[in-house]
Amino acid sequence: MNSLTGKIAIVTGAGSGLGKAIGETFAAEGAQVVLTDINLENVTNVAAQIGPQALALEQDVVDEKRWEDVFLETQDTFGAPHILVNNAGLVIPATIEDCTLDQFRTTNAVMLEGVFLGCRAAVKAMKSSEQLCSIINLSSMAALQGYSPFVAYAAAKGGVRSMTKSVALHCKEQNYPIRCNSLHPAGIDTPMVRQEAVGASGDATPSTGMIPLGGLGHPNDVASLCVYLASDGSRFMTAGEFPVDNGMLYKPA
């Protein structure tokens, strides 16, 4: 449908999983995409599959200076960005009894501080745009329900949830053309989820059809909602939190 034609997007953690699906779907909808990942080989392969409308960049989202460079390289290659998807993340299994301080700090550095740095860089780059702009932060159902086996992950995602609202309200107060929303997926069939939650075996989740209660979602289930929130069709939506959970919030598995 090309709902993102004329848009320039940056997607972090785009070398695999959700980030890869979001980057591919954005490109299919007409956007030029800058795909970043700490694993340059992976993200370069994704960009090569998409073609000339994609640029792969190496990025560690906890590196403050690198955020400046990513936005400058985006500007130099495609122009000023209109969309940022803060997706990069990691999972360290640990409960409140066995989570170390280093594990807690590492998790929050990537998934909370990294999102803060991305939002700050995006607001600076987008606030004078003549187009509507969108920041999409990947949070989690763990931010809405808690998740005892991953205490640091839940804490970081809870911070993303509330920070998203603060960013959105600031942009409205300043009359910037920027919306900011958070997505809250439940279990999505990605390499990270399979490794940490359900193991490496089993059939991949179909991309179409109904999903039974307790089943994993497909990365496209998240990517499709990202397309809508990135497009001008969602211009009246900001500071929102959107579960992508197959009803889990109201009937926990």
Question: Cα separation of 239 and 168, whole Å?
Answer: 5
pLDDT of residue 9: 99
Q: Give the residue among 180, 196, 185 at the shortest CA–CA distance from 234.
A: 180
72: DSSP letter: H
pLDDT of residue 142: 95
97: DSSP letter: T
pLDDT of residue 203: 62
Active site residue 176: no
Dihedral, CA of residue 72, residue 40, residue 218 and residue 214, to nearest 10: -110
Instruction: For domain 8-244, give its CATH number from 3.40.605.10, 3.40.50.720, 3.40.50.970, 3.40.50.1240.
Output: 3.40.50.720
Reading the chain (253 residues) residue by residue, the pLDDT tens digits are 699 999 999 999 999 999 999 999 999 999 999 999 999 999 999 999 999 999 999 999 999 999 999 999 999 999 999 999 999 999 999 999 999 999 999 999 999 999 999 999 999 999 999 999 999 999 999 999 999 999 999 999 999 999 999 999 999 999 999 999 999 999 888 776 655 554 544 566 666 666 656 678 899 999 999 999 999 999 999 999 999 988 878 776 5
* Catalytic annotation, pick one of 153, 176, 228, 250: 153
Question: Cα separation of 92 and 195, whole Å?
Answer: 11
Q: Read off the tokens for 220.
A: 């496209």
pLDDT of residue 207: 64
* Single pTM value for the model: 0.92
Question: Cα separation of 166 and 173, whole Å?
Answer: 10
